[in-house]
Amino acid sequence: MTDTLNKKVALVTGGSRGIGAAIVRRLASEGAAVAFTYASSVTQARAIVEEIQAAGGKALAIQADSADPEAITRAVTETAQAFGRIDILVSNAGILIRDTVDDYDLADFDRMFAVNVKAVFVAVQAVLAHMGEGGRIITTGSVVAERSGFPGTSVYSMTKGAVAAMTRGLARDLGPRGITVNAIQPGPTETDMNGDESMRALTRPLIPIGRLGKDLEIASLVAYLAGPEAAFVNGAALTIDGGYLA
What's the DSSP call for residue 37? E
Residue 182 lies in a domain: yes
Q: Domain of 212?
A: 9-239
Nearest alpha carbon to residue 142 among 123, 127, 173, 120 = 120
224 is catalytic: no
User: What pTM, to 2 d.p., does this model score?
Assistant: 0.95
In sequence order, what E strands does the chain have? 9-13, 33-38, 59-63, 88-91, 136-140, 180-186, 237-240
Residue from 38, 156, 224, 244 carrying the catalytic annotation:
156
CATH number of the structural domain spanning residue 98: 3.40.50.720
Quick check: is 153 in a domain?
yes
Mean pLDDT to the nearest integer, 133-157? 96
With respect to residue 109, please indicate whether it lies within any of the assigned structural domains.
yes
Look at residue 195 and tell me whether its pLDDT is greater than 70.
Answer: no
- 202 occurs within a structural domain: yes
Q: How many domains does the chain have?
A: 1
Confidence of residue 219 (pLDDT cuts 50, 70, 90): very high
What is the Cα gyration radius of the chain? 17
When the pLDDT of each residue in the chain is averaged and rounded to a whole number, the result is 96
